[in-house]
Structure 1
Amino acid sequence: MRAVLPLLVAIAAASPVAATTDAQLQQLIADSAKAPVVGFERTTKAELRADPKKEPALVVDRFTPKSATAGNWTLLSVDGRKPTPEELAAHAKGNINPPGFHNLHKLLSGTPSSRRDVDGKTVFLWNSLPKGAVVTPGGDISAGLSAEATMEGAKLSEVRIFAAKPIRVKIVASVNKFNVTSLYRQGANGLPVLTTQTSETDVTAPMGMGGKRRSVASFKPL
């Protein structure tokens, strides 16, 4: 039986089904590179805050495209009230490139290291992300992050960016946990549309930058 297993794996890897799925992934990434930014209203709920006195529990903002590659951000409310000038400045600094399918090709460049099929879904794994994919206030942590993309046939359903192990940042800080899961649905134009993004982090850092955080953002198309 042991001698048969490697043969079965080799046959599966070379099968037309595997080749078709890989072609679908490449088409998805190519579509991402050409995809325009899309408008949305985002509601972000903080389920766990490192500093509840300084971090809001509910933020509502909006991104309105001006062209296929650019647009304007508007911070609508913070905890149900009008944002302060300081909050507007912090929001503008922290939100430059909007999240969405148009970013996917930057994250999932290169050939995935492995794939597996579960319940009719195909999950691709990238062991590390390209330089500049994820930049934090402490620096670029892309090399320490991995990515999983789940496809149901030719349709993208989920992308997860995560740290398989803690990441040291500039000696004094450590990213103990990093997990961002993005869920997609098929849009009217046939391209994936971001619907929900869940973020979980645990950071050890000086000057109040550290702590455990969890938030869920929901996206409503404009």
Structure 2
Amino acid sequence: MNERTEAPSLSSTAQAYWEQRYRDHPRPWTGRPNAILARWVRSLTPGTTLDLGCSEGNSAVWLARQGWRVTGVVISATALERAARHAADTGVSACTSFEQHDLERSFPAGQFDLVYALYLQSPVAFPRDAVLRRAAGAVRPGGLLLVIEHASAPSWVRESKVEYPSAQEALGAIGLDLGGWDLVFLGTPERPVTEAASPDGQGGTIKDNIIVLRRRGR
């Protein structure tokens, strides 16, 4: 089932930016998922999942190896090809599909037991809150919406030029009617930085906003 579905007409500033980014900076294949995602899904019964912004497929392929049927979405054709290749090399082609979407313009069909967005933040214009509202609509009753986003610069950055919302502000910006959801977790934990090293090569910490919602009903 390792299908690649490419949208027929993707031409945008966002696509151009991310295509160039993936071509210039291939990310080493680790086979390891996002650690926060892994902690949240360990207690879940495998089902269907939607990975919004799946990059080169580390988390998507890991989930498939745990028994999930995964739809991964990414805007870059280069990242799409790498994710599909990693799934094939790992032997999970039958339970993964990867689709190319500019989420401002198109969105994968269906509903899922788990919908997650890992750092779905962009240096180019992107209607993130509207996309996350649509993502919430893709969660089937009883399913989980998981959003993880940067909430600070690394601790070695003394004067960040970016203003980060609190977890409560990030949740409010999505604009959901929370009457139909159970709030499982909302917080801003601190963790060691794993994405980059400081200028002097020392470690540091960074904060993430984590939003976990379960849709009511069965």
Q: TM-score range by the shorter chain?
A: 0.3 to 0.5
Larger Rg: 1
What is the TM-score with the length of structure 1 in the denominator?
0.35
The structure with the largest helix share of the pair is 2
Q: What is the TM-score with the length of structure 2 in the denominator?
A: 0.35
